[in-house]
Amino acid sequence: MYRIAVVPGDGTGPEVIAEGLKVLKAVAQKKNIKYETKMYDFGGARYLKTGQILSDADVAELRTCNAIYLGAVGHPDVPPGILEKGLLLKLRFDLDQYINLRPVSLYPGVDCPLKNKGPEDIDFVVVRENTEDLYVGVGGIMHKGTPDEVAVQESINTRKGVERCLRYAFDLTRKRNKKKKLTLSAKTNVLTYAHDLWWRAFNEVGTEYADVTRDYAHVDATCMWMVKNPEFFDVIVTTNMFGDIITDLGAMIQGGMGIAAGGNINPEGVSMFEPIGGSAPKYTGQGVINPLAAICAASMLLENLGEHEAAAAVEQAVKYVTANKVKSLSAGKMGYSTSQVGDLVVEALK
């Protein structure tokens, strides 16, 4: 019996999570998977009402579940940084979800903005380090608001943190068993301290994976290749900040935020799965948002629980829907409502 914590969150989060849960229920029935869900109302609305975001007691409770299913974080009436730091990043850090796994796959029937590229060309995974770098919040401001103002924000890179991320990426490249190529995306020519550590660790750890080809691209060149020759990539491993940026580009070449899912993974602990797009306030409550990213996140959640068949069945069903049903992946242009798309995926499971 799995215990899944569900955090629908803000904006369109609840709408897309409802469809993900619908699909989860259907596939669980089919594959005889037993689970229970517990809903949590963390997010902007609750913060505005109570001033609370996420307490240590909340985190302690979440630590006891098998997985977390998250909708979206971000509320138009809450200043930037508060919910991001207090909820999303707090969960990633406190639960030590040190991998942010973001597959970039173009599904059949999906409109790709790249000319002459199809599903066979766009099929790679980004392994983004998820607990260090510029995200740790080390730094400060001096003489704020004066002409002498100084702002410092430090990139923290620990040998342990870098190495565990690299090992995960090497293992994944081996397990995927495709091109068996792992590309480190960094900026060794400028970040000569931080990325020297990454480069040395990459090559040292890499000697233990003789079957995996080591490849390197500066992050700017990575963006160029993602557009020009995405078929070069198999697995990309990168830092937290660079990974944040290149996976939005990745989402666009796989058909947009409507389909892009990710996992915040602690291989030894509790992991959290989410559509990587935001709360999309302007579409909230209209039933036009695309739930496929949230449904793909549910598939990743199942995979993480070890329910490989169920995960694959959901992914297949999503592919059927992109190939044969939805007109577009964009909000309001799918040819169906949010809940109808959920129904189509359930239908395709049968």
Residue ranges in contact with ligand IPM by CB under 6 A = 84, 88-89, 244, 276
Closest approach, Cβ 288 to Mn ion, in A, equals 22
Q: 302 CB contacts (<8 Å, ≥6 apart)?
A: 24, 27, 33, 308, 310, 311, 314
Closest approach, Cβ 65 to ligand IPM, in A, equals 20
Closest approach, Cβ 113 to ligand IPM, in A, equals 20
Closest approach, Cβ 38 to Mn ion, in A, equals 27
Residues composing the chain: 350
The listed partner (Mn ion, ligand IPM, none) that binds 84, CB under 5 to 8 Å by sort, is ligand IPM
The listed partner (Mn ion, ligand IPM, none) that binds 88, CB under 5 to 8 Å by sort, is ligand IPM
Closest approach, Cβ 85 to ligand IPM, in A, equals 8
Q: How far is CA 246 from CA 192, 193, 218, 236, 271, in A?
A: 21, 22, 12, 10, 22
Q: Name the residue with the smallest CB distance to ligand IPM.
A: 84
Closest Cα partner for 225 from 212, 213, 210, 215? 215
Please say which residue, 276 or 314, places its beta carbon nearer to ligand IPM. Answer: 276
Q: State whether residue 116 is helix, strand or coil.
A: coil
The listed partner (Mn ion, ligand IPM, none) that binds 123, CB under 5 to 8 Å by sort, is none
Please say which residue, 88 or 311, places its beta carbon nearer to ligand IPM. Answer: 88
Phi, psi of 248 (to 5 degrees): -70, -40
Q: How far is CA 284 from CA 75, 85, 256, in A?
A: 11, 23, 18
Closest approach, Cβ 308 to ligand IPM, in A, equals 25
Closest approach, Cβ 198 to ligand IPM, in A, equals 19
Please say which residue, 135 or 320, places its beta carbon nearer to Mn ion. Answer: 135
Summarize as ranges the residues that interact with Mn ion (CB under 5 A).
244
CA atoms of 71 and 323, how far apart (whole Å): 25
Please say which residue, 84 or 171, places its beta carbon nearer to ligand IPM. Answer: 84
The listed partner (Mn ion, ligand IPM, none) that binds 280, CB under 5 to 8 Å by sort, is none
Positive or negative, the CA dihedral 190, 194, 200, 202 is negative
Please say which residue, 234 or 244, places its beta carbon nearer to Mn ion. Answer: 244
CB 135 within 8 A of CB 245: no
The listed partner (Mn ion, ligand IPM, none) that binds 166, CB under 5 to 8 Å by sort, is none
The residue type at 70: L
Please say which residue, 79 or 147, places its beta carbon nearer to ligand IPM. Answer: 79
CB 314 within 8 A of CB 41: no
Residue 100, both tokens? 């942010």
Please say which residue, 257 or 321, places its beta carbon nearer to Mn ion. Answer: 257
